[in-house]
Amino acid sequence: YHFVGTSTFSEYTVVHVGCLAKINPLAPLDKVCLLSCGISTGLGATLNVAKPKKGSTVAVFGLGAVGLAAAEGARLSGASRIIGVDLHSGRFEEAKKFGVTEFVNPKEHKKPVQEVIAELTNGGVDRSIECTGSV
């Protein structure tokens, strides 16, 4: 039975051979993990599409896996300000490890988030990356 096309919530998974990666039998299983598309999606969108310039200001909406990868892409690009926007303020501490320099929780403001960011940046950001998923 397939769920989301990969059967990952079943005991056995049916996948095409091209989607497999052999794990070294000597590798400790508690250290082995699967990386989903979140890293390539967030990092790739930032580096290959948004292409922030060195010294630019970037806003990342949503600080889940994709958003953190997008923030890392902005950091690698040399953005000087990376503003994380999320409804969960607790995510800011972890996001700092990925280059987020400032944080906005829209629920903590009476005005729309775009106005908060415009005031914070004296006019707006150079690039904005949406990583919230379902909007």
Model confidence pLDDT, tens digit, residues 6-54 = 555 567 777 778 777 888 999 998 888 776 688 889 999 999 999 999 9
At 66 the pLDDT is: 94
Q: What whole-number distance in Å separates Cα of residue 71 and Cα of residue 57?
A: 11
User: What is the pLDDT confidence band of residue 1, given thresholds at 50, 70 and 90?
Assistant: very low
Residue with tokens 């095409």, as numbered in its chain: 16
pTM of the model: 0.78
Q: What are 87-129's pLDDT values in tens digits?
A: 999 999 999 999 999 999 999 999 999 999 999 999 999 999 9
Beta-carbon contacts of residue 66 (< 8 Å; ≥ 6 apart): 38, 41, 42, 131, 133
For 13, the 3-state DSSP assignment is coil
Domains, the chain, ranges and CATH?
A: 37-130 (3.40.50.720)
Residue 91: other Cβ atoms inside 10 A: 19
